[in-house]
């Protein structure tokens, strides 16, 4: 009965079961874990190319730098108070909307920041990543920002804690007060040799609104979050929604897994 045809079927079956087991969070055997993509240079880390309708309208795409904005405003201002999506080109920004005070236009109105006027087009619509290296270095030096190891190579959290930058927490509520939710917890790693990750709500809440993460990215009960594995974080899920391209990148293992030895 066990001819080569049957054996072939069993092998195919085993292969499928193995693939199935891997994709439903079985043992992580994903080689990608160790093959992180090379990071852009510090002044380009967090840059986003936005091209909703720019090029169609004969204008260069916008290259948005997170670093110059996050020094002045927290993430919640743009991603909560203003309707900026977390993905490039997910927000439906238009020139008309900007000129009527929405999106970029909420600040870029000629008062808070330079306006959306003709002489300023090229400040944002730079097309290719503009050469911001010198302005980035000047900015980092003038504010004496603490050094980080990855990403922008700036320790933004420490910079905010030390008062070297004072990113505005709200542009809509003059007497905005943070909710004092400061629960900290430990997330044990799926691999036995990896030390647990330490999570601080307080550190995140200095920048974010609860709904930036809850309930879409993380359930509000620890056990309610399914598939929370490093391999998914690498795919921009969970922590990876911010910590692969804007917040310090996951190359910085120790920033989250402080007792890790490597």
Helix, coil or strand: residue 36:
coil
By CB under 8 A, is residue 216 in contact with another protein? yes
By CB under 8 A, is residue 188 in contact with another protein? no
By CB under 8 A, is residue 20 in contact with another protein? yes
CB atoms within 10 A of CB 187: 15
By CB under 8 A, name the one of 28, 217, 253, 260 that touches another protein: 217
Instruction: Give the number of residues in contact with another protein, rule: CB under 8 A.
Output: 50
- 256 touches 186 (CB < 8 A): no
Per-residue x/- track, 165-184, another protein (CB under 8 A): -------x----xxxxxxx-
Q: Give whichever of 5 and 147 is closer to another protein, judged by the CB atom.
A: 5
CB of 201 to another protein, least distance (A): 9
By CB under 8 A, is residue 224 in contact with another protein? yes
Q: How far is CA 120 from CA 21, 48, 259, in A?
A: 54, 19, 48
- How far apart are the C-alpha atoms of 93 and 70, rounded to whole Å? 20
- 189 touches 196 (CB < 8 A): yes
Which residues ranging from 88 to 107 are in contact with another protein (CB under 8 A)? Answer: 90, 92
Which residues ranging from 229 to 248 are in contact with another protein (CB under 8 A)? Answer: 232-233, 236-238, 240-241
Alpha helices in the chain, H assignment, sequence order: 4-23, 66-70, 75-76, 95-99, 121-124, 133-142, 156-161, 201-205, 210-213, 230-233, 253-256
- 160 touches 206 (CB < 8 A): yes
CA dihedral (223, 36, 139, 102) positive or negative? negative
By CB under 8 A, is residue 112 in contact with another protein? no
By CB under 8 A, name the one of 17, 57, 143, 190 that touches another protein: 17
CB of 225 to another protein, least distance (A): 8
In the complex, which residues of this chain contact another protein (CB under 8 A)?
Answer: 6, 9-10, 12-13, 16-17, 19-20, 23-24, 80-81, 83, 85-86, 90, 92, 172, 177-183, 209-212, 214-221, 224-228, 232-233, 236-238, 240-241
């Amino acid at each position: 009965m066990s001819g080569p045809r049957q054996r072939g079927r069993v092998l195919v079956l085993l292969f499928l079961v193995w693939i199935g087991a891997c994709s439903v969070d079985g043992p992580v055997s994903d080689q990608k874990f160790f093959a992180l993509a090379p990071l852009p240079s510090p002044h380009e880390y967090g840059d986003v190319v936005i091209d909703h309708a720019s090029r169609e309208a004969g204008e260069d795409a916008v290259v948005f730098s997170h670093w110059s904005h996050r020094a002045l405003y927290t993430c919640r201002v743009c991603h909560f108070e203003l309707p900026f999506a977390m993905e490039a080109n997910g927000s439906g920004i238009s020139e008309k909307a900007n000129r009527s005070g929405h999106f970029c236009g909420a600040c870029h109105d000629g008062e808070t920041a330079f306006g959306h006027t003709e002489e300023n087009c090229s400040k944002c619509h730079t097309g290719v990543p503009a050469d911001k290296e010198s302005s980035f270095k000047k900015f980092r030096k003038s504010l004496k920002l603490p050094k980080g190891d990855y990403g922008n190579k700036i320790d933004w959290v420490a910079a905010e804690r030390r008062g070297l930058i004072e990113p505005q927490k709200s542009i809509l509520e003059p007497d905005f007060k943070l909710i004092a939710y400061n629960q900290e917890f430990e997330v044990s790693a799926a691999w036995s040799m990896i030390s647990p990750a330490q999570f601080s709500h307080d550190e995140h809440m200095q920048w974010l609104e609860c709904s930036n993460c809850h309930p879409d990215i993380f359930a509000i009960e620890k056990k309610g979050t399914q598939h929370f594995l490093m391999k998914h974080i690498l795919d921009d899920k969970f922590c990876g929604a911010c910590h692969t391209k804007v917040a310090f990148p996951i190359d910085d293992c120790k920033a989250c897994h402080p007792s890790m030895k490597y």
